[in-house]
């Protein structure tokens, strides 16, 4: 039999049709040049299926041995780059099956017993995505560790904390970095939770209704390290909610990256001057020689829109489909693949970039002083002296107004002037009005006091061992 005949035979529907598929339709409907990345999952799933078919007496031990031998050669061909991917064979599944049949004959044709490409592709995507989630979980750990290292070096550094991008209260720079550690820790938790629902076996659902062959689906799930089987054949082949859920978790992770990026861009600008990012993560200008642009965080901020867009694409893809499988679902792969690639690349580069950040404590502290960041501390001081908080708030507003008019910080106002706002104010107020005093005073679980920050760093270190 010629290769052309083999390729034609691979089209299981070919005998029904009176004319060949047009070249334009072939190109439009083919997926092999992007879904070939599923080849390892396809081989893994096929081998588990073949082992189960043999155990159930559906195919012979000789056929099983031939399938294993053929798959071994196919694996070697793909890994070495010698495997020929063919557009005429449409997708990764038919390419591998056609090559297997070429190598081992009828045993290769028997492999597809009791399954359809519908449950096969759903299985392949789940197996592939499970492995990618594991890699992403590791990358999220790496990023958290990089942030912890940066935080630990800068626990005592005072940063102006902002609300509405206005100076609010002084915080430890280390404490600020730990806020992102918390975000990425939740992202890792979400990924682990998504993994449980990804890790369920569709194989055995066949095209949509199950199969009359005596399959042992639980045995295949066990062989593939899956946590269970999809319990309804229609649902198993037709829903891609696991991919949507992953894209949602990935979008949240990228949103957290984007928020960090926005701060890094602001902090590196001359208007802030709080940090410097290592040269290897920046570019210059083609016309302005003085420029050093934070391209990596800017691009990550842009790529966040790309990932969120993929989430919207997958949701829209799914929303109008009746049960069961529809060709629409071929369109799940490119947004899913790109989401995985974008998230992995971004996490890798951010883990490295964070390690190359230089902090500028003097600029941060000067900015905190410009914003009257200890005003709330003065209000709390007055409350402890017996003044109702609302009255204390009003009193401090007058004090800040006076400091602004004299172009000084609250801590630089003479005691006589401060007493004019409330007679209970005494010289101990200056301990309260210092940035360091404000920082240290917030020694409560989750607070910004250096003692608390050190405890949180230790907690995260233990968690990430």
User: Quick one: 429 exposed, middle or buried, by C-beta within 10 A (0-12, 13-18, 19+)?
Assistant: buried
Asked whether 71 and 43 are in contact (CB, 8 A), the reply is yes
Q: Which residues fall within 8 angstroms of residue 455, CB to CB, at 6 or more apart?
A: none
- d(CA 330, CA 453) in angstroms, rounded, equals 48
- d(CA 173, CA 290) in angstroms, rounded, equals 28
Half-sphere exposure of 336 toward its Cβ, with a 13 Å CA cutoff?
26
- d(CA 265, CA 257) in angstroms, rounded, equals 12
- d(CA 62, CA 45) in angstroms, rounded, equals 19
- d(CA 381, CA 360) in angstroms, rounded, equals 30
- d(CA 180, CA 189) in angstroms, rounded, equals 14
Please identify every residue annotated as catalytic. Answer: 164, 285
**Which element (helix H / strand E) includes 160?**
strand 158-163
């Amino acid at each position: 039999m010629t290769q052309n005949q083999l390729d034609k035979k691979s089209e299981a529907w070919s005998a029904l049709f009176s004319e060949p598929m047009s070249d334009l339709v072939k190109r439009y409907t083919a997926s092999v040049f992007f879904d070939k990345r599923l080849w390892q999952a396809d081989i893994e799933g096929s081998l588990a299926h073949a082992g189960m078919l043999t155990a159930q007496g559906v195919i012979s031990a000789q056929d099983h041995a031939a399938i294993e031998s053929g798959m071994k050669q196919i694996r070697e061909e793909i890994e070495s780059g010698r495997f020929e991917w063919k557009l005429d064979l449409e997708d990764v599944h038919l390419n591998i099956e056609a090559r297997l049949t070429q190598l081992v004959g009828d045993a290769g044709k028997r492999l597809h017993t009791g399954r359809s490409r519908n449950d096969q592709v759903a299985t392949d995507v789940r197996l592939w995505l499970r492995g990618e989630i594991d890699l992403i979980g590791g990358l999220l750990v790496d990023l958290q560790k990089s942030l912890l290292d940066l935080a630990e070096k800068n626990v005592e550094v005072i940063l102006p904390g902002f609300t509405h991008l206005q100076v609010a209260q002084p915080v430890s720079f280390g404490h600020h970095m730990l806020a992102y550690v918390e975000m990425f820790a939740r992202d890792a938790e979400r990924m682990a939770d998504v993994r449980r629902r990804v890790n369920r076996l569709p194989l055995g659902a066949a095209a949509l209704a199950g199969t009359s062959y005596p399959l042992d689906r639980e045995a295949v799930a066990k062989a593939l390290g899956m946590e269970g089987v999809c319990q309804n054949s229609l649902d198993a082949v037709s829903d891609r909610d696991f991919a949507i859920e992953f894209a949602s978790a990935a979008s949240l992770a990228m949103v957290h990256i984007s928020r960090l990026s926005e701060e890094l861009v602001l902090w590196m600008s001359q208007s802030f001057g709080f940090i410097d990012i290592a040269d290897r993560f920046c570019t210059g200008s083609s016309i302005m020689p003085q420029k050093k642009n934070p391209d990596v965080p800017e691009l990550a901020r842009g790529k966040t829109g790309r990932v969120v867009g993929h989430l919207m694409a997958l949701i829209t893809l799914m929303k109008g489909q009746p049960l069961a499988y529809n060709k629409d679902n071929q369109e799940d792969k490119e947004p899913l693949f790109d989401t995985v690639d974008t998230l992995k690349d971004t996490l890798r580069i951010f883990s490295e970039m964070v390690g190359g950040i230089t902090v500028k404590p003097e600029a941060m502290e000067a900015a905190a002083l410009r914003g009257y960041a200890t005003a709330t501390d003065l209000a709390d001081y007055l409350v402890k002296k017996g003044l109702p908080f609302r009255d204390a708030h009003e009193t401090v507003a007058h004090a800040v107004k006076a400091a602004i008019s004299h172009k000084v910080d609250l801590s630089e106002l003479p005691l006589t002037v401060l007493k004019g706002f409330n007679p209970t104010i005494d010289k101990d107020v200056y301990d309260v009005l210092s940035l360091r005093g404000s920082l240290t005073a917030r020694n409560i679980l989750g607070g910004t006091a250096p003692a608390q920050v050190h405890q949180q760093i230790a907690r995260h270190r233990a968690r990430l061992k």
